[in-house]
Amino acid sequence: MNQRLQCEVKSMCGGVEAREADKVWKIYFPNPKAALPVLLEDSGQLDWIRWGRRREQPGSGPEGGWARLCTVQAGGWTKYRPHRAFGLVQRFMEKEGRAGEKNRISHWFDVPEGYALECLVIGEGEQRKVYVITTEPPAEYAWIHDRWPLLTALKVE
């Protein structure tokens, strides 16, 4: 598959699990109120930010909740003036197969301690949206999906 076609695939990482104090939240992208706990790199502030934009939702920003690393590196997100952020989740969920297929199996994966999902935040105030940066899956999981959340180590100071 050529790089251009590969970068146009949109669906992946349909859910995450996050903890806040003693509460565990399962957050699924199809829910229009889905939000992720995000640490903003430039401010060090932790916020719950709406996860992407669904087709039926008004507003600016691309449809979906993901940003391909190849598109980010090629400057495709520059026009949105994104801010680097980290999704503080304990697990993420990948669905086997392609969007629209029936009986897709969900697989949950732990995010290692000290790591987070690499994200972009666009917009201001109540219009902010977070997008999970994706890359190629590890070879052992390529059979599940063609995209994978990019994990990054958090710096401890």
Please give the chain's pLDDT, 157 residues, in tens.
Answer: 233 323 333 345 789 999 888 899 999 999 999 999 999 988 888 999 999 999 888 888 899 999 999 999 999 999 999 999 999 999 999 888 776 777 888 999 999 999 999 999 999 988 999 999 999 999 999 888 888 999 999 986 5
Q: What is the spatial distance between Cα 144 and Cα 115, in angstroms, rounded to a whole number?
A: 22
CATH number of domain containing 59? 3.90.1680.10
Residue span of the structural domain in which 122 resides: 3-153
Q: Which of 108, 130, 114 is nearest to 40 (CA)?
A: 130
Considering its fold, how many domains does the chain have in total?
1
Q: Which residue has the tokens 């349909």?
A: 14
Q: What is the spatial distance between Cα 14 and Cα 124, in angstroms, rounded to a whole number?
A: 24
